Amino acid sequence: MALENGKDPGITIRMAHYRPLPLRLLQFCLVFLALGIGVSMVSMYTIRYLKVPNVGITSRSNVIFPCIEERDSLESWIRPPSNLWHKMNDTELFWRASAVHLRKQYPFKRVPKIAFMFLAKGPLPLAPLWEKFFEGHEGLYSIYVHSLPGYVPDFPSASVFYRRNIPSQKVEWGMMSMCDAERRLLANALLDVSNEWFILVSESCIPLQNFSVIYHYISKSRYSFMGAFDELGPYGRGRYNPNMQPEVTLEQWRKGSQWFEVNRWLAVYIVQDTIYYPKFRDFCQPACYVDEHYFPTMLSIQLPKLLANRTLTWADWSRGGAHPATFGKNDITEDFFSLNIYKLDLTEQLPRHIPHSVETSSITVAKGSLKSHGADKGHESYDRNRASYKKSVPSYHKPVS
């Protein structure tokens, strides 16, 4: 997907290609309808069996109770929502999702899960591959899909993607609505208290390592894998707008890949933010691409010690030009995996890294740099985009403002 240098010259092509998205009202209406029916049935039940005298007041409180379900049992707090369709708007959802249990010991056996969050236009063409990837690891992952409103997924009930779409909204490429969608994914995933790690991928990502390796790697790392680096030049510091002061200074400005992995604490932090959000919404618009700056900058200011400063996804810029390499079916050979990707790693001095995911189809290759043993020393702040940038553009220190 969209990254870095490629964005500047390629806006029109990319816009036509990937975004914008239309609306998704029908399903909302259906949910309301279903809820309405549910509520009236419960009301009728209550009136009939409990013989509640004041119908007006009871039916009103029933509007609240059916959603909460046995509020007094622990079970209702720890069970993941049975249905991802809810009627909360973003304000309500983010508020709810940013609630934190400060007590460290859980009064139940909590198996931490990885939430895989798919930010997609519509269909997931690589779903069969992901199905294989998840097979046999039930209970260790959960899936959330944000696709264009109006897109109706048709996964069979046996699929891991069945009913995993969240209430979604229009996304415009390079705009704040992109970050809104990412925050919406995080917030929905936060509602399941067992989700401990959150991975954002696109429909064109594929995993390069099996589930066990990825789970082990992520769960053993002290860091969250958010790309964050200080790039001098027009595509880095050049996108900074001094109106962001005092919340964000030029020295604090960071850039990184849109695709990330964060732990629960960082996810909450991203969802609760109201300080940085307006600054980025108002002062980072194309040719400033907010999805490459908002989270990396905010987290580098607030929680820098928790970041590995590199992402687990990777796009191949080595072929040159404004866009990362597109991989077709002729590219996908054993050699491609064993030579090409490993060789790239070695060339760029990342011998300890094992690739984890490749983006294919028509967009890019993305790869996680997973090490075989979870112990992450986290000293690399390498970023491929930076390297490719260095090759193609002469040093440029003064920001455009």
Ligand X SMILES: *[C@@H]1O[C@H](CO)[C@@H](O)[C@H](O)[C@H]1NC(C)=O
90 forms part of the interface with ligand X (CB under 6 A): yes
- Candidates 18-26, 31-39, 210-218, 383-391: pick the segment binding ligand X (CB under 6 A): 210-218
Nearer to ligand X, 153 or 355 (CB): 355
- Distance of closest approach, residue 211 Cβ to ligand X, in angstroms: 7
309 forms part of the interface with ligand X (CB under 6 A): yes
Nearer to ligand X, 145 or 213 (CB): 213
212 forms part of the interface with ligand X (CB under 6 A): yes
- Candidates 4-12, 58-66, 186-194, 304-312: pick the segment binding ligand X (CB under 6 A): 304-312
- Candidates 9-17, 50-58, 109-117, 302-310: pick the segment binding ligand X (CB under 6 A): 302-310
- Distance of closest approach, residue 217 Cβ to ligand X, in angstroms: 11
- Candidates 38-46, 142-150, 307-315, 344-352: pick the segment binding ligand X (CB under 6 A): 307-315
Chain positions 373 to 392 lying near ligand X, rule: CB under 6 A, are 378-379, 381
Binds ligand X (CB under 6 A): choice among 117, 119, 124, 213: 213
Nearer to ligand X, 203 or 273 (CB): 273
Chain positions 220 to 239 lying near ligand X, rule: CB under 6 A, are 223
177 forms part of the interface with ligand X (CB under 6 A): no
210 forms part of the interface with ligand X (CB under 6 A): yes
Secondary structure in 3-state letters for the chain: CCCHHHHCCCHHHHHHHCCCCCCCHHHHHHHHHHHHHHHHHHHHHHHHHHCCCCHHHHHHHHHHHHHHCCCCCCHHHHCCCCCCCCCCCHHHHHHHHCCCCCCCCCCCCCCCEEEEEEECCCCCCCHHHHHHHHCCCCCCEEEEEECCCCCCCCCCCCCCCCCCECCCCCCCCCCHHHHHHHHHHHHHHHCCCCEEEEEEEECCEEECCCHHHHHHHHHHCCCEECCCECCCCCCCHHHCCHHHCCCCCHHHCCECCCCCEEEHHHHHHHHHCCCHHHHHHHHCCCCCCHHHCHHHHHHHHHCHHHECCCCCCCCCCCCCCCCCCCCCCCCCCHHHHHHHHHHHHHHCCCCCCEECEEECCCCCCCCCEECCCCCCCCCCCCCHHHHHHHHHCCCCCCCCC
- Distance of closest approach, residue 92 Cβ to ligand X, in angstroms: 5
- Which residues bind to ligand X, rule: CB under 6 A? 89-92, 210, 212-213, 223, 300, 304-305, 307-309, 378-379, 381
